[in-house]
Amino acid sequence: MTGSTPRSPAAIIAGHLADHQRTIAALADLAGDLERIAGLMIQALTSGGRIFWLGNGGSAADSQHLASELVGRFERERPGLAAIALTTDSSALTAIGNDYGFEQVFARQVEALCRPGDLVIGISTSGNSPNVLRALERARDLGIATAALSGRDGGRLRDLAEACLIAPADNTARIQEAHLLAGHILCDLVEAHFVALSPPPPSPATARG
């Protein structure tokens, strides 16, 4: 019986850390993509639009996480920013999946909820998730701006979205880790823009009248 020698726990840990560090360091070359996506986010919010996030599995969790950073706050006090994850309504997801097929669970919500001036951001580690592609196609048909976070070679999302950040990795875990950091950077860029436009909070003395 043949097979590879099992790696030690220390080797497994070191391998993951080294791969992670290489992936994260390579994000520095994608600053332009981050700026383009942040620009689309700022443009949508400035015009009174909303940002809609969507994805599957870990990308669904990222969608909810990043939407909450904007609605609540990332690192600074400022007004809430309109962001919605299309991954949270179990009744809509199951009804649409049952009636129209799982490929339509996001596209149908885009059709119902999104309007020109909004921004739809699709997240897919492969860039080829059918329901993410259908959602961005529907958004494009409706004249709604699109952006994406992808991985590997970018998949079909690379050409479908107006702006696409392709995580510099082939491993799903590394791509997801890069997406979360990229999402945090996007939230910081957007938040910094709106904080700069907001009046400073009143001092304690002013607040007491």
DSSP-based three-state secondary structure for 202: coil
Using the predicted structure, report yes or no on whether residue 121 has a pLDDT greater than 50.
yes
Using the predicted structure, report yes or no on whether residue 1 has a pLDDT greater than 80.
no
**How confident is the model over 111-119, as a mean pLDDT?**
98
The pTM of the whole model exceeds 0.95:
no
Assigned domain for 203 exists: no
CB-CB contact of 26 with 166 (8 Å): no
- Tell me the CATH number at 145: 3.40.50.10490
Number of residues assigned to the chain: 209
Assigned domain for 103 exists: yes
Using the predicted structure, report yes or no on whether residue 199 has a pLDDT greater than 70.
no
Using the predicted structure, report yes or no on whether residue 206 has a pLDDT greater than 60.
no
Q: How many helices (H) does the chain have, and how many strands (E)?
A: 9, 5
CB count in 10 Å sphere of residue 3? 5
Average pLDDT, the chain: 94
Assigned domain for 156 exists: yes
Q: What is the structure's pLDDT at 119?
A: 98
Name the strands in the sheet holding 119-123, side by side, starting at the edge strand that comes first in the sequence: 83-85, 51-55, 119-123, 145-150, 163-166
Assigned domain for 205 exists: no
Assigned domain for 200 exists: no
**How confident is the model over 158-178, as a mean pLDDT?**
97
Assigned domain for 159 exists: yes
Question: What tens digit of pLDDT does each residue of 47-92 get?
Answer: 999 999 999 999 999 999 999 999 999 999 999 999 999 999 999 9
Q: Which domain holds residue 130?
A: 30-194
Residue identified by tokens 């600053």 is 31
Assigned domain for 6 exists: no
Counted domains in the chain: 1
Assigned domain for 17 exists: no
Using the predicted structure, report yes or no on whether residue 203 has a pLDDT greater than 80.
no
Instruction: Count CA atoms within 13 Å of residue 193 on its CB side.
Output: 17
pLDDT band (50, 70, 90) for residue 204 = low
CB count in 10 Å sphere of residue 90? 8
Instruction: Please give the C-alpha separations between residue 192 and each of 38, 42, 197, in angstroms, as whole numbers.
Output: 11, 10, 9
Using the predicted structure, report yes or no on whether residue 200 has a pLDDT greater than 80.
no
| Cα–Cα dist 13/7, whole Å | 10
Q: What is the structure's pLDDT at 2?
A: 56
pLDDT band (50, 70, 90) for residue 5 = confident
Question: What tens digit of pLDDT does each residue of 27-41 get?
Answer: 999 999 999 999 999
The percentage of residues in the chain with a pLDDT greater than 90, rounded to a whole number, is 90
